[in-house]
Amino acid sequence: MTLAISASRKDDAEAAGHAAERVVEFGRVHGAAHYLASATCQAAWARARLGDGEPAAIDLENTIAVLLEQGNKVWLPLFKGLLADVQAEGQHIAKALTCVAEALELANETGEHWTDSFLHRIRGEILLRRDPANTAPAEEAFLTAMQIAQQQKAKSFELRAAMSMARLWRDQGKRDEARDLLGPVYGWFTEGFDTRDLKEAKALLDELAP
């Protein structure tokens, strides 16, 4: 399950899907209901990101409901954040914003705050989809995501929030500000340069180079 969680945190749908399917099989064989439902969430998100769209999003939403019925709230802020992400991809913006708000409420309820930066970044992306001309709410969400990641020393989440802000500033013509924001965060990393996030960050920095 850890591999699937790690892959989804990195937005690697293919890896998350493969890891989750192995856990789904384990859960079925051994009757581990919580692992089965949790891995099914990961697998459904991966399917949605890889093209299954609406059916996978519905499966993810239904499986989250199963976890809640079981009284299991571990990882639920993450799963609800993933659901908000795919809902936004499907243009269900209002549902996505409600879902990410519920995820943040769950984190406050359970104390599972390690996803807070991720959730605020997702919220920023959804706000941009809702109103691309009004960027202030999204900027605030991205900055909040960065600040939380810095406080938690969660460099991967900080990098992704910085990339979201840098892309927004690039699109606004603030290329120098975007490069100055993203460069130091990218520069912290000394390994993992073959991962998707670091490849995308490097490509963005190359694009922003003077």
Cβ-proximal residues to 196 (8 Å cutoff; 6+ apart), any chain = 10, 11, 12
pLDDT of residue 173: 97
- Dihedral over alpha carbons 160, 82, 123, 58 (to 10 degrees): 150
pLDDT of residue 72: 84
pLDDT of residue 37: 77
Residue 83 has pLDDT above 90, yes or no: yes
Residue ranges covered by each domain of the chain = 1-95, 112-210
Share of the chain above pLDDT 70, in %: 85
**What's phi and psi for 134, nearest 5 deg?**
-110, 90
Across the range 65-73, mean pLDDT stands at 87
Locate 159 and state its tokens. 């990098």
Across the range 112-120, mean pLDDT stands at 96
Identify which has the larger pLDDT, 122 or 47. Answer: 122
Across the range 19-39, mean pLDDT stands at 65
Calculate Rg over the CA atoms of the chain.
17
CB 77 within 8 A of CB 106: yes
CB 182 within 8 A of CB 204: yes
pLDDT, mean over the chain = 88
By residue count, the chain amounts to 210
pLDDT tens for 162-175 read 999 999 999 999 99
The dihedral through the CA atoms of 130, 173, 81, 206 has a sign that is positive
Q: How many CA atoms lie within 13 A of 91 on its CB side?
A: 0
- CATH topology classification for 112-210: 1.25.40
> pLDDT confidence of 9, banded at 50, 70, 90?
low
Across the range 20-24, mean pLDDT stands at 65
> pLDDT confidence of 93, banded at 50, 70, 90?
very high
pLDDT of residue 90: 87
pLDDT of residue 15: 73
